[in-house]
Amino acid sequence: MKIKNIRTRVVQWSGETAPLPPHFCTNPMDLLQLPQSSMKTFAFHGWLIVEVESDDGLVGIGNAALAPLVTKQVIDHYLKPLLLEANPWDIEFLWQHMYRHTMAFGRKGIGMTAISAVDIALWDLLGKAAKQPVYRLLGGRTKPRIPVYASRLYSTGLGNMADEAQRYCAQGYKAMKLRFGWGPVDGAEGMRHNVDLVRTVRQAVGDDIDVMADAYMGWTLDYAKRMLPLLEPFHLRWLEEPVIPDDVRGYAELKSYGRIPIAGGEHEFTLYGFRELLQANALDYIQFDTNRVGGISQARKIAALAEAFSIPVIPHAGQMHNYHVVMASLNSPMAEFFPPVDVEVGNELFWYIFQGEPKAKDGFIDLDENLPGLGLTIDEERLLQFQVTE
């Protein structure tokens, strides 16, 4: 089997988008106090689709959501020429070739996102060639079903958040995650508002449901240290991305207090990046995203390394490329799940682009063992709602 062609498409949502209210979600831009909504910087209304076609007519599908127009150029101009006519079963060699060829600019960020999208497509292709789901190629099932947590609960008003949290309980979820809305520039009043968010969700769901909270890189170390004792009474399962990803020392300091487990890694890249985090004892939970971290080829290595450190892996963002890694790893106790909603931040766009994503039932998802590869197809009809760049 040889790689015949690699097709890339950027799909930009052109339909209606729900507005983002003030204090919707903290983020790194908040510290700059710009007049426009800071969260717009972190909206993902464009998506990259990658299709790797073999000479026997099989097509593997990958995707990425970070800077899709630029990521497409990296694939088209730097990665595609390396892969044409190659044997996709040499997937480790192909990953190393892409990585080393782009070393000067691609170790992290956009370059690694491009490699991730291609690598995911290659694994999908291999699964289809083998007539097996990808998780089987990674070692097989380690659990009957995958427990998932409902991930939304943006700061949209206390009453709305209480109602939303109770809906998730009624739907059978045993865990859910909220987003903070205030950060360092909002002072002590903002800290009180953040505590109100957590208190509201905890009171809505009771003590038998795991609650997690995400600062999305929007706090400083000083602010996070002040927030920890205020949040401790609510027994959070974890505090996510309390500081920017480059502040490894800050993560390690927060973890060292032992007050609330610390989660992160959504914006870290490759096995080497996670080796640094693990050696620094910086995280209680690892949250790489497979379509950023280096694809499935890197995700499986990081999962194995984390297991040696007894640090659970719960990938960011759900989606099939993450679910297959979770299914194949005993060290991944659950997965994130974005409920289908109207287009908002853009995290939900994969529901509009692909067919085959599993729906949660009673707080679990399952992967169909009769579907080869990742089990996804592209919803070409719904792509009519997008502006497509090829």
Catalytic residues: 316
Cα separation, 367 vs 344, whole angstroms: 27
Tell me which residue of 140, 142, 177, 148 sits closest to 161, measured CA to CA. 177
Cα separation, 81 vs 5, whole angstroms: 10
**What's the N-to-C CA distance of the chain in angstroms?**
26
CB burial of 356-380 (b: ≥16 within 10 Å; e: otherwise) equals ebbebeebbbbbeeebbbbbbebee
Cα separation, 278 vs 310, whole angstroms: 10
Cα separation, 1 vs 280, whole angstroms: 43
The encoded tokens of residue 278 equal: 């693990």
164 Cβ contact list (under 8 Å, min separation 6): 152, 153
Q: Decide the pairing of beta strands 3-13 and 386-389.
A: antiparallel
281 Cβ contact list (under 8 Å, min separation 6): 252, 255, 256
3-state DSSP assignment of residue 319:
coil
Cα separation, 212 vs 155, whole angstroms: 14
Cα separation, 217 vs 164, whole angstroms: 24
CA angle 41, 44, 47 (to 5 degrees): 140
Tell me which residue of 239, 244, 241 sits closest to 228, measured CA to CA. 239
Cα separation, 217 vs 3, whole angstroms: 39
